[in-house]
Each structure stands twice: as structure tokens, then as C-alpha cells.
Structure 1
Amino acid sequence: MADGDDGAQTWRHETVTEGPWAGWIAYGSDPFEEHAGPFYYRLDAAGAPVCAMRTEAQHMNGGGFMHGGALMTFADYAIFVFAREHLQDGHSVTANFNADFVGAVPLGALLECRGEVVKGGRSLIFLRGLMTVEGQTVFSFSAVIKKTGKRT
């Protein structure tokens, strides 16, 4: 996230040019997600976004697997990536979030998230998604984003 001269928040949208995430896009404007990540996305061959992160020690729970709150934070990031074309001109918030924890995510795993906008309305956007590790589903979710007003 960056602050404009007037203090307004602006979206960060940068393609990574070096390292293991080269070609992926760093995207967002949320200080908590910046702290909780890093999170990235790219477009697959069909043009659909896929989000990804590599699990680190900071994401783990006491049992040695990814903390549920970290999974939900990554999913919350992903829904805004999936809905980005519906959100270009305004502010928005997560209004509803439903999740199913269906598998454990170990330290060092590449966690991928794919999803879609089910319906994009005037003020609400309905979404769903799945997270996988090595092709195995570990987390499924649905969410609703509420548009809250125009960007200034």
C-alpha cells in the first residue's frame, strides 16, 4: 500500500522481477495482509487469477500446521484479487465469510488458491474458492464483499 499526497490509500500492483516469485504480482493495500503474508497472484493460461503463498514459521499453530486464522487471512486477500475488476472505483469490505478446514498445511508448503465471482451486483459481490497443496484441497470458502463507496 502507498499513501498519496493527500493521505489517501492507493493500490499497490507490482510484478515481481526476481527470486522465486518472479512473474507473480504483489497486489493489495491492506497493512495486516502485508504483515501476515507475503501473498501473490498471477493469471493462469485461461486468464483466471491464482493466488499463492509459501508457508513460513510465522503462519504455523502450536501443532506445527498452518493456523486457521492465517488460512482465513489468505482467503480474504484472495477474494479481493478475484473481485478486483468489480472493485476498481470504490472501497469495499468483507461482509460475510464461511470456511471449511479440510486438510492440514505443513511448514514450507506452496499454498495455492483459486476461486471465482459467483455474482457481482451493484453493492454485493458473491465469491467462492478452494485452496490446495500439491493438488489436494485443504480449505474451501465462500464470501460476500460489500461495496462501501467511491474512491476519492
Structure 2
Amino acid sequence: MDGGQDENNYTSKLTAVTEGDWAGWAHYPGGDPYEDLAGPFYFQERDGKRVCAFRAERKHMNGGMFMHGGCVMTFADFCLFVIAGEAIAGSRAVTATFNGEFVGSAAIGDLVECAGEVVKAGRSMVFVRGLIVNASRGGEPMMSFSAVLKKTGAR
């Protein structure tokens, strides 16, 4: 970790990617230890909406060489916080509920994307829904989800 961070005060820093395949995207290196292990996951603004994405690797596959459901859910959880970014700005938040339906998968090399919306942003709860798709297969749906984020205090 850098910037004087320790495990009890783990904060993230938005980093813009300026080179390579992900130029024009942003990510949070060192933002979440588990997501760092599972990702990297990226996001960008597209037509006024935040879109999240990552490229499927062998580490994301299950024994049948399809994307592991736990990987899809981890990505969905990352997406929740990106989609709800403005609604939770200045607050800490946790995932309180999560509902998802697996409807497709991805293979090694596929581009996986997600977009969604804040359904309602209350004082302490933010309701979000999204759709994860396999962009390499023409946007074939992989998971639809809805979740509630609970604001837990000021950042």
C-alpha cells in the first residue's frame, strides 16, 4: 500500500488509465483487496451513464471453463458502487441486499460489461439495478441484479 494507508484505513484512489487496452477508462487500484485480487475492474462514462467492464481471464473461470458465478457477483458488487457513485458521495456504504439472476456466461478473452441505474436514493438507502452482459457476444445478458446500499456514515 502507498500513501500512508494501513489495513484499518483502507481508502481508494481513482486512477485514469492513459495507455493500453483500457485507455480512457478508470479504476481503483488498492481500493478493495478482494476486488484487486478478482479484477482489475474498470469504468467510464458513456452516453451519460457509468459503464463497468473487465476482460475474462483464466482466473475467472470455474471447472467447466465458464465464468464462475462468484466472479460475476463480485463484479456486480463493484458495479453497484460505481453506478451509485453520486448517490453515496461523501458517505461510506455497504451492500445490504443483493438479488441476481444468472442468465448467461463468458469465456476466457470475452469482454464483460455492466450498466445500470439508481432506482431511488434515500437518506440512508440507495436502490440500484443493473445488467451484466457479454459484450464479445453482442451484448448477450449474463446477469440481471438489484441491490440496496446502506449508507453507514460520513467518509
Q: TM-score, normalised by structure 1?
A: 0.92
* Structure 2 unaligned spans of 5+: none
Please state how far the C-alpha of 1:48 moved relative to its aligned partner: 0.5
Q: How does 1:1-152 map to 2 (within 5 A)?
A: 4=4, 8-27=9-28, 29-44=31-46, 46-133=47-134, 134-151=138-155
More strand by share: 1
Give the direction of change, closer, same or farther, for the CA distance of 1:4–1:52 in structure 2 (3 Å limit): same
Please state how far the C-alpha of 1:4 moved relative to its aligned partner: 4.6
Distance 1:4 1:49 in 2: 30
Give the direction of change, closer, same or farther, for the CA distance of 1:139–1:121 in structure 2 (3 Å limit): same
The aligned amino acid for 1:32 is Y
Please state how far the C-alpha of 1:47 moved relative to its aligned partner: 1.4
Distance 1:144 1:73 in 2: 15
Report Cα offsets for 1:30-53 as digits up to 9, x if no partner.
111111100000000x21000000
> Residues 112 and 132 of structure 2 are in contact (CA less than 8 Å); yes or no, is this contact kept in structure 1?
yes
Percent identity over the alignment? Answer: 54
Consecutive aligned runs of 4 or more in structure 1 exceeding 6 Å deviation: none
> Residues 61 and 67 of structure 1 are in contact (CA less than 8 Å); yes or no, is this contact kept in structure 2?
yes
- Structure 1 stretch displaced more, 47-56 or 85-94: 85-94
Please state how far the C-alpha of 1:95 moved relative to its aligned partner: 0.3
Distance 1:86 1:17 in 2: 27
Please state how far the C-alpha of 1:5 moved relative to its aligned partner: 6.1
The aligned amino acid for 1:38 is P
Q: TM-score, normalised by structure 2?
A: 0.91
Give the direction of change, closer, same or farther, for the CA distance of 1:48–1:2 in structure 2 (3 Å limit): farther
Distance 1:15 1:27 in 2: 9
Distance 1:56 1:128 in 2: 25
Please state how far the C-alpha of 1:2 moved relative to its aligned partner: 5.6
The aligned amino acid for 2:153 is G
The aligned amino acid for 2:98 is F
Q: How many residues align?
A: 150
Please state how far the C-alpha of 1:8 moved relative to its aligned partner: 2.8
